[in-house]
Amino acid sequence: MDRQDSGAVGRAETKAAREAERSEAAAAVWAELERERREVDDRTARLRALRLARDATRVD
């Protein structure tokens, strides 16, 4: 029985390690998505400011 118990413990540890690895990978993916979203937002704000400045100086 001792051998079966150690096998169950080993499987549980392996499962926990895999779940931790998946969690870390998911956190890394979310961080990358957030970084990309911020870059798009920053670029959009910069382009909007340039367009507004251009339109403010334009005389129709």
pLDDT band at 7 (very low <50, low <70, confident <90, very high): confident
Compute CA distances 10 → 23, 24, 36, 54, whole Å.
20, 21, 39, 66
**24-58 confidence digits (pLDDT tens):** 999 999 999 999 999 999 999 999 999 999 999 98
Q: Taking residues 8-24, what's their average pLDDT?
A: 93
Q: How far apart are CA 7 and CA 13, in angstroms?
A: 10
pLDDT band at 1 (very low <50, low <70, confident <90, very high): very low
Is the pTM of the predicted complex or chain greater than 0.75? no
